[in-house]
Amino acid sequence: MQTLTLLNPMDMHLHLREGAMLEGVLPYTAQIFSAAVVMPNLTTPITNTALAKDYQKQILSLCAPSSFKPLMTLFITESLNLQELQEAKKAGIKILKLYPKGATTGSEGGVKEILSDNTLQVFQYAQDLGFILSIHGESNGFSLEREYEFLPIFEHIAQNFPKLQTIIEHLSDARSLDMVEKYPNLYATLTLHHISMSLDDVLGKGLNPHHFCKPILKTKKDQQALLQAALNAHPKVSFGSDSAPHLESAKLTANGAAGIFAAPILLPALATLFEEHNALENLQTFISQRAIENYHLTDFPQKSITLSRKPFVIPERIMTPLGAVIPLWAGKTLNWSL
Ligand code: DOR
Ligand code: ZN
């Protein structure tokens, strides 16, 4: 049987939640990926080093610490100060995550004015201390234009903090790729869902809440451009799943939660997609090498994951101690399995 071996997969954008949900979802990443960037938008956001250390301990207590490295992040608030940043640096935290206030799940404590004096001061410290700045870049405008409307802020940061490595998270709009190419200090992550689906998959044939995420899926043209960047393993783009579990009940209520739980299917789905486009030979670079280069990763568990070219039927639901979570493409069959 045909097999495919991937070394040291890296997920550079991941939501693990906490407590019982963490317990339920962590194995899907920790068994497969060498390292993952763990997002800080918990109910109580990870706004300081003490919280990050606790959270890291919680994660490591639920997996084999020698085989999975959680890369912790700090949630930026307007009051984040130099002392706290120095603490964070000492504790090995390398990434600061900026959420515009109210832009997405768990961002109520985020930053109201991105280019305020306070936030610019945080960027200055971040640059001086060598942090990576990760941003959920969306305005509060018309939903399909939110990422595009945010681009001038990236441009401002890129120009004014040329040594501050800045990540446009989960690219959803083709125009963002142009921005990444224009500035040497701008980088990006790409999700499986944004390279494989468009707005039609959310509302083209009935409403599909399991494909609802932020930033919202865009046009086929956007999807195609982003897919090409992934298939070509664009040098400034790393894989970041943005796997974001919500209970089935939370997805199906009137205020349908934004987030796609992709962790259980990532490698089989990417192998299937890359094979369909005759680009399997670039998957290793996309899934691992770009992250290692772009985030300067030197110390991570070595992992070798072998996939087989045999059908994998995605489970209809995944049970966690809290209740059911529906994985992306539940019930569908992929060409590759773990
Ligand atoms: O769809 C999303 N879900 N986008 C985000 O930015 C956050 C995430 C979540 O935490 O559920
Ligand atoms: Zn996210």
Rounded Cα–Cα distance for residues 31 and 34 (Å): 8
Per the structure, how many domains does the chain have? 1
Torsion of CA 296, 151, 154, 16, to 10 degrees: -50
Instruction: Give the distance (Å) from ligand 2 centre to CA of residue 40.
Output: 9
User: Residue 326: pLDDT band by 50, 70, 90 thresholds?
Assistant: very high
Q: Catalogue the long-range contacts made by 84-89 (C-beta closer than 8 Å, 24 or more residues apart).
A: 84/48, 84/49, 85/122, 85/125, 85/126, 85/129, 85/131, 86/129, 87/48, 87/49, 88/48, 88/49, 88/52, 88/131, 89/129, 89/130, 89/131
Instruction: Give the distance (Å) from ligand 1 centre to CA of residue 4.
Output: 30
The pLDDT tens digits for 82-116 are 999 999 999 999 999 999 999 988 899 999 999 99
Question: In this structure, what CATH number is given to the domain that contains residue 13?
Answer: 3.20.20.140
pLDDT for residue 83:
98
What pTM was estimated for this model as a whole?
Answer: 0.98
The pLDDT tens digits for 288-318 are 999 999 999 999 999 999 999 999 999 999 9
Does pLDDT of 181 surpass 90? yes
pLDDT for residue 253:
85
Q: Containing domain of residue 72, as a range?
A: 3-334
Write down the number of H helices and E strands in the chain. 13, 14
Taking the CA of residue 246 as reference, the ligand 1 atom at the shortest distance is 11
* Segment 239-249 mean pLDDT: 97
Taking the CA of residue 15 as reference, the ligand 1 atom at the shortest distance is 10
Using only the alpha carbons of the chain, give its radius of gyration: 19
The answer to whether the CB of 115 falls within 8 A of the CB of 156 is yes
pLDDT for residue 104:
87
Kindly list the protein residues whose Cβ atom lies closer than 6 A to any atom of ligand 1.
Answer: 15, 41, 104-106, 136, 213-214, 244, 258-259
The pLDDT tens digits for 254-301 are 688 999 999 999 999 999 999 999 999 999 999 999 999 999 999 999
Q: Report which protein residue has its CA nearest ligand 1's atom 7.
A: 105
User: Residue 338: pLDDT band by 50, 70, 90 thresholds?
Assistant: very high
pLDDT for residue 255:
81
222 classed as catalytic: no
Instruction: Give the distance (Å) from ligand 2 centre to CA of residue 3.
Output: 31
pLDDT for residue 251:
94
Average pLDDT over the chain, rounded to an integer: 97
Percent of the chain whose pLDDT exceeds 90: 96
Rounded Cα–Cα distance for residues 71 and 297 (Å): 10
Rounded Cα–Cα distance for residues 298 and 29 (Å): 20
Which residues make up the environment of ion ligand 2, defined by Cβ < 5 Å?
242
Pick from 46, 35, 43, 27: nearest CA to 8: 35
Taking the CA of residue 258 as reference, the ligand 1 atom at the shortest distance is 1
Query: What is the H or E stretch that residue 4 is in?
Result: strand 3-7
Instruction: Give the distance (Å) from ligand 2 centre to CA of residue 294.
Output: 19
Rounded Cα–Cα distance for residues 234 and 256 (Å): 33
- Annotated catalytic residue within 11, 173, 222, 242: 242
